[in-house]
Amino acid sequence: MAWLWLLVLLALAGPVGGTWDTCGGTCGLRPMASDQSSVPPVYGPLESSSDTAPGSGVHPGAWPGIASIQVTWKNGTWHMCAGALIHPKWVLTAARCFIGAGNVIKWDVVVGATNLSELGPGARVHQIKRILIHQHYKAGSERNNIALLELDQPVECSDYIQLGCVPKASLRVSDLKTCYIAGWGPTAESALRPRLVLQEAKVRLIDVQLCNSSRWYGGAVHPHDLCAGYPRGGIDTCQGDSGGPLVCKDKRADYFWLVGMTSWGKGCAGAKRPGIFTSTQQFHDWILVQTGLSPAEPAAPTPKPNSTSASIPAKELGRLAAVSLAKQTVLEFLGKLEDILVFLRDKTS
């Protein structure tokens, strides 16, 4: 029987992370972003009819956590929505993207790309294994506008592919001042098709009470939503950006919180009509329940802070991390070993 226990020891001594832990226990990093504190606001009216107008796109790897959700019909494959990678097998996005999803031949998720016409060496394409729409999603009011996509295979993280940090309740999102949006949607309401090159813009979080005032959205914004943009307008998400990330830089360290997913709005970039985003913080527990993920252990590696910032308390990290595939495999292996031991004991007795 000694060989059975040797197998157990070998299993426990195997790689802890496997392909499910290629991100090293970190999230919210942007290793390819050259200057994360001064991302130019490139959203707004189109300055050129070209989909790749000079200065309108981001360089490869600038947004390693964003995903392009694409559908294939008989007439081709099209970018429909955006999403954010929160785990090597899970993408967070908007529920509204999947109305009538049954008519689609195939869904794909592209990660690690900024130019959808030329994906580049860092990009990966995965099929969707399962779509989980929030059970209380209301299409008319966009209440609970959130969904999860389970990928067919785990994504391997790289400089071009990173995970987003979903904040827990302990983080004061309203205190975060440096926030950004990104997406492939058109940069003007009159534009008819998404852009091929990823766009980004710096925005400000706006108090939800102000957004709900009579001259703004008149009470249509839900408590689980966030407002972001500018009172004067000019910079906003638009059609095709649904499900895309709203990220805010941590106050003390050089990483970003995934605080919102593009949900809805009235028009694009209008005055007193900022973008409305589903607050990921409000759905933190829902994400855990639906995916079976667990909060990160305090000992897990953390994003490297700035030289001027204090160390990051583990209780404030609030990010999602997977129960590693290796650990799950070991548990399954031990269960099977127990069955074998019981079988052998009964057979020899």
Domain residue extents for the chain: 2-16+324-348, 18-321
Structure confidence at residue 163 (pLDDT): 95
- Mean pLDDT calculated for residue range 213-224: 82
Contact in structure between 185 and 193 (CB atoms under 8 Å): no
Distances 111 to 90, 260, 284, 307 between C-alpha atoms, Å? 12, 18, 22, 30
The model's pTM is 0.71
The per-residue pLDDT for range 21-65, each reduced to its tens digit, is 457 778 998 888 754 443 444 333 322 223 322 234 788 888 999
pLDDT digits (tens, 9 = 90+) for 74-94: 888 888 899 999 999 999 999
**Residue pLDDT, tens place only, 274-314:** 889 999 999 999 999 999 876 543 222 344 444 333 333 33
pLDDT band at 99 (very low <50, low <70, confident <90, very high): confident
Looking at every residue in the chain, the average pLDDT score rounds to 73
Identify the CATH homologous superfamily for domain 18-321: Trypsin-like serine proteases (2.40.10.10)
Query: Average pLDDT, stretch 325-337?
Result: 45
Residue 165's pLDDT is 93
Angle at 42 between CA 149 and CA 160, to 5 degrees: 45
Cα 190 to Cα 196: distance, rounded to the nearest angstrom: 17
pLDDT confidence of 12, banded at 50, 70, 90? very low
pLDDT tens, position by position, 126-146:
999 999 999 999 888 889 999
Average pLDDT over residues 227-245: 71
User: Which among 255, 244, 248 is positioned nearest to 277, based on CA atoms?
Assistant: 244
Which pLDDT tens digit goes with each residue over 148-207? 999 999 999 999 999 999 999 999 998 998 999 988 876 554 454 567 889 888 888 988
Give the per-residue pLDDT at 326. Answer: 40
pLDDT at 39: 42
Looking at residue 207, what is its pLDDT?
A: 85
**Are 85 and 91 in contact, with CB atoms under 8 Å apart?**
yes
Nearest to 85 by CA among 111, 120, 107, 124: 111
266-300 CB burial, b ≥16 within 10 A, e <16:
eebbeebbbbbbbbbbbbbebbeebbebeebeeeb
pLDDT of residue 30: 86
User: What integer pLDDT is reported at residue 76 of this predicted model?
Assistant: 86
The pLDDT of residue 7: 41
